[in-house]
Amino acid sequence: MSKNNLTTQLLNHSTKISIGALLVLISFSVWLTIGGSGDFREKLIHLIKGELVSIDPLPRSTVVDAIYVLGGSQPSLELKFKVAATLYHTGICNKILILSRPGITEYSNLLGRNLSNDEWAIMKLKNLGIPDKIIEPVSIESGFFGTLTEAKYISRLINERGYKSIILISCPCHANRVKISFRNFLKNSNVRFYVQGSSEVNTFKQLIIELFKLKIYDYFLVSSSS
C-alpha cells in the first residue's frame, strides 16, 4: 500500500476514530484517576454498556436451525450454557454448536483421568438436560482476533449446511462485537441471526477493554475482513 493510500484511509477513518478514541481515553482516565464509586462512574458504566450490549428480542414462537455458544472461560461458558439450555427446553431448536477447545481440564473420578475441554462442556450441557446427541463441538482454526475468527468459520458452516437461522449466545458486553462480526460474514446471505446474552457481570476494567476492542473491530477489522 502506498503512503498516499494509507494517508487517505486514515483520514477517512479519522472522524469515527476520534469519537471512539476520545471515549476510550476518557474512560481510561476516569478508571485510572478516580478508581472509586459514585454517580459519575455509574453513568459512565451505563454509557459504555449502551455501546457494548446489543441483545435481540426473540419473536414469539421462534424456531431456529441451531444455537451457537461462543467461546470463553469456564465460568463464562457455564452461564452461556444455562441460556442455551433454557432456549432448548422451550423447543427452539434441536442442535447446539459449541466451540471445540483443545486441552484438558478438571479431573474426573468417574473416568479416572482429566476431562478434555470438550468433554467438560458436553458434561455441563448434559447436566442441564440437553442430550449429548444434539451437542456438536466445532473446530476452527485459531486466529489473533478470536471473535472475528469464530464469526468467519461459523458463518461458513452455516452457509455450507444451509441454515436459515441461528441464535448466538454471548456475554452481554461482548454482544455488539459478536453482532458486527457475524453481520460482516453473513451480509450477503438470507440467514437470520439473533444475539442472546448470559447473566455474566463484567468489571469496569473489562468493560473498558471490551469498548476498545469494539472500536478496533468496528473501524479497522470488520469492513476489510470479508
Half-sphere exposure of 163 (CA within 13 A, CB side): 25
pTM: 0.85
Q: Residue 58's closest CA among 202, 204, 194, 223?
A: 194
What was the pLDDT predicted at 22?
55
Contact (Cβ atoms closer than 8 angstroms) between residue 98 and residue 134: no
- What is the DSSP-derived secondary structure letter of residue 212? H
Query: Which residue carries 468489571 as its cell?
Result: 203
pLDDT at 11 (0 to 100): 45
Check residue 150 and give its pLDDT. Answer: 97
Per-residue pLDDT of the chain (226 residues; tens, 9 = 90+): 554 554 444 445 544 545 555 566 556 556 555 555 567 778 888 989 999 999 999 999 999 999 999 999 999 999 999 999 999 999 999 999 999 999 999 999 988 999 999 999 999 999 999 999 999 999 998 888 889 999 999 999 999 999 999 999 999 999 999 999 999 999 999 999 999 999 999 998 899 889 989 988 988 888 655 5
**pLDDT reported for residue 149:** 95
Amino acid at 60: R
Structural domains in the chain plus CATH codes: 66-202 (3.40.50.620)
Q: List the beta bridge partners of residue 167.
A: 67, 194
